[in-house]
């Protein structure tokens, strides 16, 4: 579909004029208009991931080639979007490393290692990943700083020239099960950072810190605290009315962690945060008397100077399925029913695409962008979803439900093209069988979901299992029209867990996939125009920048994230997972193109007979799936990023108890 509004065209032209201007000082104005640079996680405060650069376009995309790559010294998931300023790329990796690279050559300028203790891994749901850094100069004479959140909750400011630490503060309690994986955002001289950890029982919050000193300016808790004590704000007093009992607090805090999306609107002076799932997932355990449980799974608008609540919209009231609303928030101006509206858009895990008026929080539309059976529709009169008969698995005894806790859309960022007016969503279709745990038991420092995670256990027939997975589970690149509330085109991927999106004024949409392919599609019809085959999954959000009059496209490659970890055997492409930064431009470089060893993707461990009590095996299966599978893979079929327990050495077998119970490997 090649029609687009005059409004979008005007916006596109106005952005292309500034494309070649390079900001000298990285401040608020620069992030609003970064020209040919990429200065914040989603490029600008609007987080559209749309670039006005069009030097690389549909007509010449075939000339794009790998200019250089940089191999990182890590093998965990790569989720970061690089930042580019003044010819330098700043990019973070798993285990909280930050690299500064020469954008022309890939030469490393400096490298910072936060030296996160390996035991921190037990506090994460989805690997020791990091989605990126932020940069900022407080004024023209101030030094440029690089900010990032370390996995163990430290917020760290680095000197951008040397990589030396300027300051470091602990943004989370060290005795809690918090982690930080999201990219910070810089707003009005403050570093805004959230955190994760809801599966292990924490109380979510977002904090703001002074860019120069690290002094905390404010903190907004996303869920109420102990109901027997005063709440921190009137907004939490109001939220308390939507919770029953006090189990949520006793079980660790209720969740609602804002682990990814933080978006600032300079015009309205509002900060929007996306909040996470309930803790435990099972709402009957979390809030036994019912209630919506504010502000779980919500979009919340705050005053950035104080953290004061302004409005909220809860995308999944009474979350019961790990349906976070942490997914990317995107700001845009749309013409809806002939009226210009300032909107905020989100495609959260629950499978509905939401358009809200970002001044007031008014719901403008909510339609399914992927398969979702937990709700039939969203009632536009009430703004609430209408749950289906499958949704309440506690009452119906268990059911397959779309989407699974992996979400119809997860952390991989989507992109809104100001030129086509379309949102490009990295969607996935995965059902999950939800059933409540039969025996409720709170386990300290463990996952406490209240959902039986052993339901994906070894099926009776592997042929039937294979067939059903092939039939039901797949990924998609969806081009969504947020005004018409419908798909315009889609590209189906064989597997879920594909990469984030970049759209450009060159009428191109870039996306990586689980199998290591990095592709460019026609933004109007989804036709594949170009591809590069790498040697590991390409999942992170791509970005583009202009340097010396040339346009570059960059993306981090490397397998990781919860889907790749837990169903890794299905998705693995390379036995050691090469984490790299790939940087492309128009020219033929003729570099060796290492492609993943596809033969290895079909390997399975050989079974062997064991004279073990079947009931004991059953118990072990349940213990494994409720404690180990989130890292080592469902049915002990792991991605090679994490040790494959089916191939443990004799020594590891001998040391098994001391490793699992004694933690002897945590110091290595």
Partner 1 sequence: MIGFYETLGVDDVDAIHAYLDDKQQNLPDRLELTFLQKIEYWFNFWMAKLGAMFPELLNATRTFIM
* Residues of this chain that bind partner 1 (CB under 8 A): 73-76, 94-95, 118, 128, 371, 373, 390, 398-401, 431, 433, 456, 459-461, 463-472, 575-577, 599-600, 602-604, 606, 640-644, 647, 649, 652, 665, 668
Q: How far is the CB of 575 from partner 1 (least distance, A)?
A: 6
| Alpha helix ranges (H) inside 514-613 | 561-566, 568-571
Residue 22's Cβ-count burial label (10 Å; 0-12, 13-18, 19+) is middle
Could you give the CA distance from residue 302 to residue 295 in angstroms, rounded to a whole number?
Answer: 13
- Going from the C-alpha of 567 to that of each of 80, 420, 564, 572, the distances in angstroms are 21, 35, 6, 9
Q: How far is CA 215 from CA 210, 212, 369, in A?
A: 5, 8, 41
Contact between 388 and 482 (Cβ < 8 Å): no
CA distance 168 to 148: 10
Q: Which of 152, 260, 292, 322 is catalytic?
A: 322
**Min. distance of Cβ 150 from partner 1 in angstroms?**
14
Q: Give the CA distances from residue 111 to residues 67, 72, 182, 212, in Å, rounded to whole numbers and listed in that order.
A: 21, 10, 19, 21
For residues 272 and 47, give the distance between their C-alpha atoms in angstroms, rounded to a whole number: 12
Distance CA 167, CA 146 (A): 11
The answer to whether 192 and 183 have CB atoms below 8 angstroms apart is no
Min. distance of Cβ 658 from partner 1 in angstroms? Answer: 13
> Catalytic annotation on 265?
no
Residue 239: helix, strand or coil by DSSP? helix
In the complex, minimum distance from the CB of residue 424 to partner 1, in angstroms, rounded to a whole number: 24
Indicate the DSSP class of residue 496: S
Q: Which two tokens stand for residue 123?
A: 């506090």
Which helix or strand (DSSP H or E) is residue 248 part of? Answer: helix 247-250
CB of 92 to partner 1, least distance (A): 13
The backbone torsions φ and ψ at residue 159, rounded to the nearest 5 degrees and listed phi first, read: -75, 125
Instruction: Considering the complex, state which of residue 4 and residue 390 has its C-beta at the smaller distance from partner 1.
Output: 390
Of 2 and 460, the one with the shorter C-beta distance to partner 1 is 460
CB of 555 to partner 1, least distance (A): 19
Q: Which is nearer to partner 1, 297 or 644 (CB)?
A: 644
**Residue 470 or 525 having the CB closest to partner 1:** 470
Q: Tell the smallest beta-carbon distance from residue 405 to partner 1 (Å).
A: 14
CB of 32 or CB of 465, closer to partner 1: 465
Q: H-type helices in 251-300, by residue range?
A: 283-286
Residues sharing a CB contact under 8 Å with residue 377, sequence separation 6 or more, in sequence order: 385, 386
Instruction: Decide: residue 47, CB within 10 A, 0-12 exposed, 13-18 middle, 19+ buried.
Output: buried
The nearest distance, CB 180 to partner 1, in angstroms, is: 18
Tokens describing residue 468: 């059903």
Phi, psi of 219 (to 5 degrees): -145, 135
Could you tell me whether strands 108-113 and 375-379 are parallel, antiparallel, or unpaired per DSSP bridges? Answer: unpaired
Residues taking part in catalysis: 322
């Amino acid at each position: 579909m090649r029609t687009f509004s005059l409004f979008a065209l005007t916006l596109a032209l106005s952005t292309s004029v500034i494309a070649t201007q390079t900001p000298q000082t990285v401040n608020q104005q620069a992030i609003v208009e970064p020209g040919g640079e990429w200065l914040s996680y989603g490029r600008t405060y609007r987080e559209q991931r749309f670039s006005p650069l069009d030097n690389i376009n549909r007509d010449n995309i075939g000339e794009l080639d790998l200019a250089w790559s940089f191999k990182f010294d890590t093998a965990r998931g790569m989720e970061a979007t690089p930042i580019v300023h003044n010819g330098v790329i700043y990019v973070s990796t798993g285990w909280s490393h930050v690299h500064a690279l020469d954008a022309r050559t890939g030469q490393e300028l400096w490298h910072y290692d936060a030296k996160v203790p390996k035991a921190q891994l037990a506090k994460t749901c989805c690997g020791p990943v990091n989605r990126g850094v932020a940069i900022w100069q407080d004024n023209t004479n101030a030094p440029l700083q690089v900010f990032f959140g370390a996995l163990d909750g430290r917020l760290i400011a680095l000197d951008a020239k040397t990589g030396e630490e300027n300051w470091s503060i602990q943004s989370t309690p060290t005795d809690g099960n918090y982690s930080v994986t999201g990219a910070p955002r810089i707003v009005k001289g403050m570093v805004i950072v959230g955190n994760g950890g809801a599966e292990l029982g924490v109380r979510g919050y977002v904090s703001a810190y002074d860019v120069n000193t690290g002094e905390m300016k404010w903190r907004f808790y996303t869920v109420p605290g102990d109901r027997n004590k005063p709440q921190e704000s009137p907004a939490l007093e109001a939220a308390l009315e939507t919770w029953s009992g006090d189990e949520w607090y006793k079980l660790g805090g209720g969740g609602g962690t804002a682990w990814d999306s933080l978006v600032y609107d300079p015009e309205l002076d509002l900060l929007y945060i996306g909040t996470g799932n309930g803790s435990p997932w099972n709402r009957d355990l979390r809030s036994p008397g019912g209630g919506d449980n504010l502000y779980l799974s919500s979009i919340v608008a705050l005053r950035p100077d104080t953290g004061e609540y302004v409005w909220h919209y809860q995308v999944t009231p009474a979350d019961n399925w790990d349906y976070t609303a942490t997914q990317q928030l995107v700001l845009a101006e749309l013409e809806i029913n002939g009226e210009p509206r300032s909107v905020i858009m989100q495609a959260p895990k629950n499978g509905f695409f939401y358009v809200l008026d970002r001044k007031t929080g008014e719901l403008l539309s909510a339609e399914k962008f992927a398969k979702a059976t937990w709700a039939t529709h969203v009632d536009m009169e009430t703004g609430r979803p209408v749950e289906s008969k499958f949704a309440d698995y506690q009452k119906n005894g268990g059911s397959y439900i779309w989407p699974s806790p992996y979400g119809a859309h997860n952390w991989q960022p989507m992109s809104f093209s100001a030129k086509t007016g379309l949102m490009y969503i990295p969607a996935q279709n995965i059902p999950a069988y939800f059933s409540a745990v039969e025996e409720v038991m709170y386990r300290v420092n463990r996952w406490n979901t209240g959902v039986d995670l052993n339901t994906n256990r070894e099926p009776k027939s592997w042929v039937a299992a294979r067939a059903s997975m092939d039939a039901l589970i797949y990924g998609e690149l969806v081009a969504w029209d947020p005004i018409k509330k419908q798909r315009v085109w889609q590209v189906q991927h064989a597997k879920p867990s594909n990469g984030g999106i970049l759209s450009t004024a060159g009428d191109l949409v870039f996306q990586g996939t689980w199998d290591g392919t990095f592709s460019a599609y026609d933004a109007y019809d989804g036709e594949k125009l170009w591809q590069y085959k790498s040697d590991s999954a390409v999942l992170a959000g791509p970005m583009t920048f202009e340097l010396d009059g040339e346009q570059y496209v960059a993306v981090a490659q490397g397998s990781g994230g919860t889907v790749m970890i837990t169903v890794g055997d299905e998705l693995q492409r390379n036995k050691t997972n090469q984490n790299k930064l790939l940087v492309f431009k128009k020219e033929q470089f003729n570099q060796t193109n290492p492609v993943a060893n596809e033969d290895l993707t079909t390997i399975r461990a050989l079974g062997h007979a064991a004279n073990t009590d079947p009931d004991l095996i059953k118990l072990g299966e349940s213990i494994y799936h409720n404690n180990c599978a989130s890292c080592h893979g469902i049915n002990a079929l792991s991605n090679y990023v994490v040790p494959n327990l089916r191939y443990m050495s004799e020594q590891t077998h001998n040391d098994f108890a001391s490793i699992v119970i004694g933690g002897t490997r945590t110091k290595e």
